Each structure stands twice: as C-alpha cells, then as structure tokens.
Amino acid sequence: MHYTPANNRYQKMEYRRSGNSGIKLSAISLGLWQNFGHVNDFENSRKLIQTAFDSGITHFDLANNYGPPPGSAEENFGKILQTDFKGLRDEMIISSKAGYTMWDGPYGDWGSKKYLVSSLDQSLKRMNLDYVDIFYHHRPDPETPLEETMATLNLLVQQGKALYVGISNYKTPEAKRAIDLLKQMGTPCLIHQPKYSMFERWVEESLLDLLTEEQVGCIPFSPLAQGLLTDKYLHGIPQDSRAASGSISLHESDITSDKIEKIKALNEIALHRNQKLAQMAVSWLLQKPQVTSVLIGASKASQIQDAVNAVKNQQFTREELQQIENILAQ
C-alpha cells in the first residue's frame, strides 16, 4: 500500500524549542527501543511510524543496539524511510545513540572515539542516511576521559555525520562537565535524555535546574515507568504484560502492593481529568517547563493517539498537582 501523509499533520501537534537552539521538537517523540526489531511484525512497525508522522510527530529516536537483535530497529526504520518517506527526510528529526554494548571486544561499548565513530558509521549504513539530526552519547563511561567522548561528538558534527549532539543517562555533575566541554568546542549540547516519570524523579534533585541554567533541552524516556503508569496493573499482573514475560525492563518484583495502591489512586485523578492514567503521566511531564518533548514507546497505533491527545490536556490545577504529590509521597 502506498502511504500518503495526512495533510493536516502539523495542526495536530505542539512544537517546543529545545533549549537555546533553532530546533523545535514535537511535544511527543516516538522511541524505537522496542517493537521495531526483526522479532517484531514489520507491517505493524511501519503502521506505527506512519501513525506517528500523521499525528505531527516529527522526531524518531533510535540507538545502535535497539532491536532485538541489536541494529535491527535501525535497519527496519531505514527500510520504512525508503518505502514511505522518500522526499520527507527534511521534515524529520532522526536521532541515534551509542554507549551500550553493541559488538564483541573492547571497541564495541562505552565512550571511546573508536567506538563512537564506528558506531555512527554503522548506524548511517543501516538507516541508509547521510547524517542523523541528533547523535547522543547513551551513557557516561567511567574509564574514558570525558574530553575524548565530547571531542568525538564535536568531530562527528564537524564531519557532517550529525547536526546536533546530546547526552543520555548522565547525572548532574557529569552532565555539567559534558555541557561545558561541548560549549568550549563550539558544538553546544542540544538535549539531555534522562529516565523520568512520576515514579522516577531523580532529575528533579538538580538536573532540571542545570538544564534550565545551561539552556539545554530535556526529553524524558520511560514516561510510563515501563507500563506501570497505565491501567494495565490496576488489578495485579496480567499474563501478557511486560512484567509477566520476564522483560529486562520490568520485573514482577517491581510491582509491589503499595505501588498498585498508588497506581489506583493516580488512576482516580486521571479519570476526573477525563484521561487514562497513561495520558495523565505524559501530561504531567509536559507541564514541566524544562521538558521539550516526551519520548514514548508504542506497540499499537492507539497508544500513539492517546499520547498525542495528552498534549491537548496538559493543564493541571494546583489541587491536582498536590494530590499527585501526596499519593507519590506515601
């Protein structure tokens, strides 16, 4: 089937500037961490990307190791770009990352110049692209000097293989150093991608303040806490859930009875707001002034629609925010 994008796609979405840059990102971005590998149904992956683009989502977030198997999400995305998005590349922000284990031996992991340069070359081949819009260092490397890692990000921009650079999973002190180094090199850090949700709030201790001060964007991943902040676990652990399937990202032991009580109480607030819990979790992040975009995953087109609809309902009353805080503090 030939794909023609929706004409009104840009009317459906809000676009927010990332820090002190010329780049605006769609308030919702689609991450390809799961559901886009060779183990997944290719036609479904294709439908998800089409649905996202039709909804005004312009930012598609990948990494070298997304799959499974590692690399396959980029390969499949490359195929979908060829079949459905020819001539639309310039309407998209495509990002990739390197920093986790990608291949065997000492050069397939972490933050060396050797690894980052080869990894991005491989990613570009897999996606059949000349450049990515954003290239991230995926996690800090305790052994490689940060100067080497940041100089490599700068080099990749000089070479035209990436337009912008970002960091992911960096805590505040190392984020500050990385941002300073990049600034000195003349390639400012565009954005930081931390794990952030109602259940995961370490970024509020000092990272959000740093990003405000340095004028760097913020794109939270795992906004639904791997599915905990949905209506899936209101009545315990369903058979077909991530937790039951022994997923690496969510274990049955994460779902304690007090977590379920919190989920139920949060769900009540969401219902009062005419939202699903998953939508409220996205809206809650979007109302934070530092948040540029919320990075969602999806296995069904309806989940993308839900997240897009959450953009329209991101106002909270002071009472609602206080109730949410009270529940989370219990």
CA gap 79, 57 in Å, rounded? 19
pLDDT of residue 221: 98
The listed CATH number (3.40.630.10, 3.30.70.260, 3.20.20.100, 2.60.40.1180) that belongs to domain 9-235+278-315: 3.20.20.100
pLDDT of residue 245: 66
- CA-nearest of 63, 84, 69, 73 to 221 is 63
pLDDT of residue 237: 75
Asked if residue 26 lies in contact with residue 53, where contact means CB atoms within 8 angstroms, the answer is: no
- CA-nearest of 180, 164, 175, 171 to 202 is 171
pLDDT of residue 183: 98
CA gap 305, 55 in Å, rounded? 8
pLDDT of residue 271: 98
CA gap 193, 12 in Å, rounded? 24
Give phi and psi for 223, each to the nearest 5: -65, -20
CA gap 182, 187 in Å, rounded? 5
One-letter amino acid of 89:
R
DSSP code per residue over 22-80 = S-EEESEEEE-SSS-STTS-HHHHHHHHHHHHHTT--EEE--TT-TTTTTHHHHHHHHH
Take residue 219 and report the two structure tokens written for it.
């794109």
Q: pLDDT tens per residue, the chain (330 residues)?
A: 789 999 999 999 999 999 999 999 999 999 999 999 999 999 999 999 999 999 999 999 999 999 999 999 999 999 999 999 999 999 999 999 999 999 999 999 999 999 999 999 999 999 999 999 999 999 999 999 999 999 999 999 999 999 999 999 999 999 999 999 999 999 999 999 999 999 999 999 999 999 999 999 999 999 999 999 999 888 877 777 766 666 666 777 778 888 999 999 999 999 999 999 999 999 999 999 999 999 999 999 999 999 999 999 999 999 999 999 999 999
One-letter amino acid of 50:
Q
Take residue 142 and report the two structure tokens written for it.
């305790």
Q: What angle do CA 233, 297, 318 make, to 5 degrees?
A: 65
pLDDT of residue 257: 86
**Tokens 């995926």 — which residue?**
138
Asked if residue 102 lies in contact with residue 64, where contact means CB atoms within 8 angstroms, the answer is: yes
